[in-house]
Amino acid sequence: MKKVLIAYFSLNGNTQKMAEFIAEGVRFTGNQAETHKISSLKSVEDLNGYDGYIFGSPTYHLEMAEPFKTFLFLCKKADLAGKRGAAFGSYTHTGNAPGQIFDTLQYVFKMQPFELGPFKLLERDVATREGLKACQDYGKVFGEKLG
């Protein structure tokens, strides 16, 4: 059984819901998924020891949320190279954050990019059946790729 860390920031709960559904998808594959708000991840030790990482932030003012930028500086000190990484987030019109995070995982942290790429979901779809399934599927494929 592989272990996946799903770390997210969410101001109004949309990206948090996504995190929970993505975790369900990972668990469908028999792997372990832990969801944590980034505010609870304070040290490198909190980040090391997972087989895969899925990071989530909504888009605010065309960018990932400010606290997520600080979180990524902590991640830079962790041992993430070679681990599979993915990114997601809720948005209303541009949805830049998941792509920005995904690029950082791939090009700065030298992680293995998840084959499905970054995953952004319109806020209005988060609480729908289709939205829930899209999140679960993202987690499911991530879990399957981990083996």
Binding residues for ligand FMN, rule: CB under 6 A, are 10-15, 58-62, 90-95, 123
Amino acid residing at 104: T
Distance of CA 62 to the CA centre of its chain: 18
Q: Measured from the CB atom, is 70 or 94 closer to ligand FMN?
A: 94
Give bridge partners of residue 89 from the DSSP assignment: 120
Shortest gap between Cβ of 62 and ligand FMN (angstroms)? 4
Q: Which residues contact 71 (CB under 8 A, 6 or more apart)?
A: 7, 9, 38, 41
Distances (CA, A) of 111 to 17, 61, 70, 74: 25, 27, 19, 15
Q: Shortest Cβ distance from residue 147 to ligand FMN (Å)? A: 30
Give the nearer residue to ligand FMN in terms of CB position, either 54 or 78.
54
**Nearest-approach distance from CB 121 to ligand FMN, in angstroms:** 9
Residue nearer to ligand FMN on the CB measure, 13 or 49: 13
